[in-house]
C-alpha cells in the first residue's frame, strides 16, 4: 500500500505524542516539540535529570523496512546534536550534558504500539 504524505504526517504526529508520553512516564520533562530553524527540526527536546536531550522519533506501521531506529544514521544523529546546540542557544538553556536519544515506535494494525528507546546516540 502506498502511503500519502498526509498519512505519514499523521502517523509521525501520533508517534511523537506516544514518545512524549512514554518519556514523561520515565521521568523526562518535555520542553518543546517540533522546534525548527533553517537547518532542520527537533522532534522533541526534553530534560532528563541534568541532561538536555534532543529526541528523534521514528514511527512505522510495520517492520518490513526494518526497525524504525535503523533509519537514524550517525550523520543524522550528528545533525540533531548540532540542532540541539542551536536550540539551547536560542532558548538560553544550559545543562552540564547534551544528549541525543531516539525513540522508535512500531504501530502495527490491531496491535499495541511497540516503543524502543535508545539513549545517547552521540
Residue range(s) defining the domain that contains residue 96:
5-118
- How many domains is the chain partitioned into structurally? 1
What integer best gives the mean pLDDT of the chain? 92
**Which distant-in-sequence residues (6+ apart) come within 8 Å of 65 by Cβ?**
none
**Residue 62 or residue 90, greater confidence:** 90
Q: Which of 4-8, 51-55, 116-120 has the lowest mean pLDDT?
A: 4-8
Q: Taking the complete model, does pTM exceed 0.85, yes or no? A: yes
Q: What is the pLDDT of residue 65?
A: 78
Percent of the chain with pLDDT over 70: 94
Q: What is the CATH number of the domain that holds 64?
A: 3.40.1350.10
Q: What is the pLDDT of residue 33?
A: 97
Amino acid at each position: 500500500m502506498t502511503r500519502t504524505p498526509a498519512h505519514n504526517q499523521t502517523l509521525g504526529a501520533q508517534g511523537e505524542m506516544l514518545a512524549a508520553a512514554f518519556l514523561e512516564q520515565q521521568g523526562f520533562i518535555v520542553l518543546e516539540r517540533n522546534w525548527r530553524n533553517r537547518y532542520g527540526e527537533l522532534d522533541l527536546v526534553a530534560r532528563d535529570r541534568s541532561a538536555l536531550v534532543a529526541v528523534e522519533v521514528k514511527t512505522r506501521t510495520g517492520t518490513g523496512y526494518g526497525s524504525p531506529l535503523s533509519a537514524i544514521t550517525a550523520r543524522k544523529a550528528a545533525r540533531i546534536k548540532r540542532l540541539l546546540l542551536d536550540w539551547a542557544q536560542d532558548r538560553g538553556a544550559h545543562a552540564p550534558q547534551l544528549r541525543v536519544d531516539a525513540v522508535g515506535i512500531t504501530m502495527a494494525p490491531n496491535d499495541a504500539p511497540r516503543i524502543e528507546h535508545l539513549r545517547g546516540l552521540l
